[in-house]
Structure 1
Amino acid sequence: MREESAATLPAPPAGQPAIDGVSTSRSAAPAAPFRLGRRNAYAALDLGTNNCRLLIAEAASHGFRVIDAFSRIVRLGEGLGTSDRLSEAAILRTLEALRICRSKMETRGVVRAKIIATEACRLAVNGADFVERVRTQVGLDLEIVDRQTEAYLAVTGCAALADPYAESVVIFDIGGGSTEIAWLDGAATNPSTDPTLRIRAWDSLPVGVVTLAERHGGAEVTRLMFEGMVEEVADLLARFAIRAAPAANARHFHLLGTSGTVTTLAAMHLRLVRYERRRVDGLWMSDGEVSDAIDDLLDTRLDQRADNPCIGRDRADLVLAGCAILEAIRRAFPSERLRIADRGLREGLLMNMMREDGVWRRGGHR
């Protein structure tokens, strides 16, 4: 990844935000204000039930250019399938990852950031206490977003991969604690139009890979256990499936999915020795190819999944729960093809911030 030097100015007085989303309650980073005609670094941080992910990017002529990134599995929502609290061990793991993220933002001279938390913090009774610890101990202002916001961000981040000729698309994001799904109606005649304007129906299912695996088991999954997971998700999906029933009948309809589940299936289908984003993001898979990849995973043991570099030990016990969520979606919306997205909430956050600042309209990039 190409290194960029960032100009810095003195930090504002203590207690004022140095940049949107970054508190100065402790040793704040100096940050440059937004200026036209210079490179302005933006940061988007998505703290999910399973992962902590950061992207830092600059606006480019057609979108943005990533200049730094960070991802770590923290399992913040570990135990939420059976409890209502974030555990101290999970909190400490997450705080450590967030400190790394803050350091990267300081180094890159980020001028504006959006830092969000999703289902784990929405569900936990100590979610607000955790947000306060992040503010005081790390210096980041974490926002717990609602389910509709999360669904719309997933659409914003992924919609560019939809077939422009498709008159209907179902986009889904399989998370650690929830699954967002939306029906986009009508073809994307103008790529610059906000894709959320095409949303005809959306839902946020209270189930993700962590919570589903904790309820059913994720280490050794039999086909009978797998069907039990699929049935649970199908029940939760039923209301949305009724509202979006016409989707699959439209011309060139397809599914578009983002998550570690679908990118893992894509990597297995491609038989990658190690994960390669450039080969996975935007990949089309046929219905049969998706079925074959799921079948192959169902035939593996936990140690085999852990040894697969495209899965790893941190996700070996979660990937089949993700496949069950995907399978329920496929059964509700039969499609001959699925497009894989290695992008999502962070990209949606970046696009929204840059759009709000008018960086493309005003030429605030180079």
Structure 2
Amino acid sequence: MLIAGLDIGSNSCRYTLVHWQKNQGLRVVEQDLATTRLGKGMAGGILLPEAIERTVEAITGFVERARQKGAEKILGVATAAVREAANGQELLDRLVPLSAEITCIDGQREGWYSWLGAVQGLGLEKGDGVMVIDSGGGSTEFSWLEAGQLKAISLKIGAVRATEEKWSLAEIDDFLAKGIASIPVKPEKVILVGGTATTLGAMELQLEKYQPSLVHGLKLSAQQVAAWARRLRELNLEERKQLPGLQPARADIIPAGASILAAATHQLGTEQVWLSETDLLYGQIYIYIQEQLKYDEKGPVKWDFS
């Protein structure tokens, strides 16, 4: 069965098309990303018309591709930018004619989906002691298991938001410290997901062409994350655009994004993090298989673009 997943984020829209077969996990046959900056200029609390147009165009293109490939189901989630904007429903209404199941989810559900996508996508047998940090353009989610229950908090800090509002390092540290103080568990393993995290992996590997299978499951020390954050802050925009593994369209927001992850990992006291290519984009697909197809798929995600 071919299932398509869509993620409408504050910085970008993402698309994946997976082939699912019982006991064989998810096999990615196609994926893509469009930098639409939906959350740009949202200080006034509304989505800008041009940002809505960019997003509708990107999602329409992804849906058309999925249908041409034979997708039997198309799922989608909208996150921070849409749920916070006064006119977020306007964007969702524009997408109704596509006949795809696209919903706006709250921050807690975003964290749940990210946790499920990362833990199952990496093929981990147990999620005990695992914390997933999903830092996007407009928000950052922390999710974990507590007494067998999946818990999550969502903080209004992300790469686009922190860049546009010119947050200082001290402000990032203080804001995260207040949020992390409410987490009652100390993680044994920390998994980072989202565009900033996977970009750090691509830069560490110096990938001229992004290869998800190489980034997925990569381990970085907390010192490496902190070092990348320092280096990215020190380089100017044009210098950052020349770094292997960094998409030029992300070069303006990556210093803030990396600083958020460096501060979070430091405050949690973790010495090493895992990177996961799979997050809420895949979490929603696992949820669909479990709830609608009534099958508890435990297999990991693999890539096959042949």
Give the TM interval when normalised to the shorter protein. 0.7 to 0.9
How many angstroms does 1:167 deviate by?
A: 5.1
Task: Return closer, same or farther for 1:166/1:288 CA change in 2, 3 Å cut-off.
Answer: farther
Q: TM-score, with normalisation over the residues of structure 2?
A: 0.88
Deviations 1:285-332 (A, max 9, x none): 122222222222222111011222422221111111111211221232
Give the total of aligned pairs.
294
Counterpart of 1:228 in structure 2 is: 170
Please state if 1:343 is matched with 2:278: yes
Q: 1:211 to 1:343 in 2, by over 3 A?
A: same
Q: Residue 142 of structure 1: SS of its match in structure 2? A: strand
Q: Output aligned runs, 1:61-210, within 5 Å.
A: 61-80=23-42, 82-136=43-97, 138-160=98-120, 161=122, 168-185=129-146, 197-199=148-150, 201-210=151-160
Q: Quick one: which amino acid aligns to residue 213 of structure 2?
A: R
The separation in 1 between residues aligned to 2:127 and 2:141, in whole angstroms, is 20
Paired amino acid for 2:186: A
Cα deviations across residues 171-219 of structure 1 (Å, max 9, x unaligned)? 1100111111112358xxxxxxxxxx452x42001121111110007xx
Report the CA distance shift for 1:67/1:46 in structure 2 as closer, same or farther (over 3 A). same
Cα deviations by residue, 1:308-357 (Å, 9 ceiling, x for unpaired): 24222211111111112112212320111100111111111111112230
Higher RCO by CA contacts (8 Å cutoff, separation 6 or greater): 2
Percentage of matched positions with identical amino acids:
28
> 2-side partners of 1:162 and 1:331: how far apart?
26
Partner-residue secondary structure (3-state), 2:199: helix
Deviation at 1:68, TM superposition (A): 2.1
Contact 1:158/1:344 (CA < 8 Å) preserved in 2? yes
Contact 2:217 2:274 in 1 (8 A): yes
Gaps of 5+ in 2: 298-306
Name the SS of the counterpart of 1:170 in structure 2: strand
The whole-number CA distance in structure 2 between the counterparts of 1:162 and 1:135 is 34
Asked if 2 retains the 8 angstrom alpha-carbon contact of 1:43 and 1:55, the reply is yes
Give, in whole Å, the separation in 2 of the partners of 1:298 and 1:179.
20
- The CA deviation string for residues 123-160 of structure 1, in whole angstroms up to 9 with x for no partner, is 11111122112224x45453111122111100110013
Residues of 2 paired with 1:320 and 1:57: CA distance? 32
* Aligned 1:314-329 pairs, distance under 5 A: 314-329=249-264
Q: Take 2:126 and 2:68, find their aligned partners in 1: how far apart are those partners?
A: 42
- The normalised TM-score by structure 1 is 0.74
Counterpart in the other structure of 1:32: none
Q: What residue identity is the alignment partner of 1:132?
A: D
Question: Hey, what's the Cα distance between the residues in 1 that align with 2:127 and 2:63?
Answer: 40
Aligned counterpart, 2:302:
none
Query: SS at 1:110's partner residue?
Result: coil
Contact 1:241/1:332, CA 8 A, preserved across alignment: no
Which whole-Å CA distance do the structure 2 matches of 1:358 and 1:165 have between them?
20
**Aligned with 1:65: secondary structure?**
strand
Number of the residue aligned with 2:268? 333
Over alpha carbons, which structure has the higher Rg? 1
